[in-house]
Structure 1
């Protein structure tokens, strides 16, 4: 495998996915041992030929020979294409390139709500700009997945009325509206940032419920397992929500209103 030498990817060290794939490039021999570097360790000299603001949004690849920098999906194409030219040709096709670029932006602009990190003082932070379009798309994506998973799982529980997509959509979206009522003193960006984290927690819960949904297609599961798994999922979601509230430095009572909403929703469903 050909190695792209004397070039370094600047990655967000607080993003496990960024760390994973940059490490993978080095282990695979696609980059040399100096092929990655945390964004926060960017030197003053490097900042002369790196757009620091853009590099926080799109992973930057520094070419130390020419002292030039490429960004985002183009950086990844350059690394992968050097070892696999045929992949570069496929990605270079306009429809493929367009879709990959949009997908990259979708993940990059939302990575801090997917995996939030505690802000560190006196450190150059790799924090992407707030993008209303991609944040709204992420919330919509998580809302859709959550709605369909809740629809499927609710129908496994025999003691509640049969579920509908509309009901589960109202329940999932209603959580955002209900929680936002307790953030009326905050600006729109803070509310949307919280909503993104809120829906990440819901998405995480949906993924935890998926194994039971899949198993139920092949066997009859006892109600004890279905209810117990659901209760365990809610507990994990509550703890994760509480952890994120601390990171975001938002009022702690949001975790308790999160529980109150679910109790209210269950009461309305049962009645």
Structure 2
């Protein structure tokens, strides 16, 4: 790979996703060994010419020689395009760049609910994106849709429960949000949406874990006991992940108990049909 010299990417050190893709730029030599820097480690001089608020929302690429900065998808296209010019050329086409910008914003504004991290109160500079209601609502609806589709498909493999439909699965996914909302109603609305974002991410993760079984079952017949076992292990993982996220968010631990209660009530309701 052709190395982009004298350029430094700012990244959120508390974001595992940011850590992975910026370190991959170093490992593949798209950037030199000093090609990334944690947002929290910015010097006073750097803070004078960097838009700190924008850099928290969109990854910033600093030109160390000219002291100029570009942000977001432009930063990524420049880093990748230095090694693969065709990527930058295609990425800068107006309709494609428009889509990339929207996708980038979708991920960036929701990164703290996709992969949460405990807030470090000792940090002066915090790389926390603005709270964007539009992208949070879109994320919740997107994750709910994917979860509903996967559970509908997976439900067809389980003959011990009544036949499902996508509307029922969507109702169950949204019902979980409504049920949990009863127990967080006293929190500030943004904190409620942060929890809901994490809640639906747990459901999305569970549905993604089920997809390999759907693919494999399309190629060969999987015994239902194996499918049930996989489903049970998936639910246990989801419970673990929910407990972990509740702890990170410093929310009441009983939210995991109500999470279980809702699922038990739904199962009983389905079996009684």
Q: Would you call these one fold, judging by a TM-score over 0.5?
A: yes
Structure 2: unaligned runs, 5 residues or longer: none
**In the alignment, what sits opposite 2:144?**
143
**In the alignment, what sits opposite 2:184?**
183
Specify the SS of the correspondent of 1:201.
helix
**In the alignment, what sits opposite 1:166?**
167
Q: What is the CA-CA distance between 1:13 and the residue it aligns to?
A: 1.6
**In the alignment, what sits opposite 1:52?**
52
Structural mapping, 1:68-217, within 5 Å: 68-123=68-123, 124-217=125-218
In 1, Cα distance between the equivalents of 2:236 and 2:87? 44
In 1, Cα distance between the equivalents of 2:176 and 2:48? 46
Structural mapping, 1:16-31, within 5 Å: 16-31=16-31
Would you say how many aligned residue pairs link Structure 1 and Structure 2?
271
Structure 1: unaligned runs, 5 residues or longer: none
In 1, Cα distance between the equivalents of 2:138 and 2:177? 15
In 1, Cα distance between the equivalents of 2:92 and 2:227? 47
Q: What is the CA-CA distance between 1:83 and the residue it aligns to?
A: 2.6
**In the alignment, what sits opposite 1:243?**
244
Conserved 8 A contact 2:156-2:163: yes
In 1, Cα distance between the equivalents of 2:175 and 2:16? 31
Specify the SS of the correspondent of 2:14.
coil
Q: What is the CA-CA distance between 1:67 and the residue it aligns to?
A: 1.0
**In the alignment, what sits opposite 2:64?**
64
Q: What is the CA-CA distance between 1:27 and the residue it aligns to?
A: 2.4
Specify the SS of the correspondent of 2:140.
helix
Conserved 8 A contact 2:140-2:197: yes
Specify the SS of the correspondent of 1:217.
helix
Deviates more, 1:176-185 or 1:15-24: 15-24
Q: What is the CA-CA distance between 1:189 and the residue it aligns to?
A: 1.1
Q: What is the CA-CA distance between 1:182 and the residue it aligns to?
A: 0.8
Q: What is the CA-CA distance between 1:62 and the residue it aligns to?
A: 0.9
Specify the SS of the correspondent of 1:161.
coil
Conserved 8 A contact 2:17-2:115: no
In 2, Cα distance between the equivalents of 1:187 and 1:87? 43
Deviates more, 1:228-237 or 1:216-225: 216-225
Specify the SS of the correspondent of 2:104.
helix
Q: RMSD value over aligned CA atoms?
A: 1.2
In 2, Cα distance between the equivalents of 1:142 and 1:259? 20
**In the alignment, what sits opposite 2:38?**
38
**In the alignment, what sits opposite 1:221?**
222
In 2, Cα distance between the equivalents of 1:212 and 1:268? 25
Superposed CA offset, 1:215-236 (max 9, x none): 2212222221111111111111
Deviates more, 1:96-105 or 1:218-227: 218-227
In 2, Cα distance between the equivalents of 1:80 and 1:21? 11
**In the alignment, what sits opposite 2:10?**
10
What TM-score do you get using the length of structure 1 for normalisation? 0.97
In 2, Cα distance between the equivalents of 1:226 and 1:87? 41
Deviates more, 1:251-260 or 1:206-215: 206-215
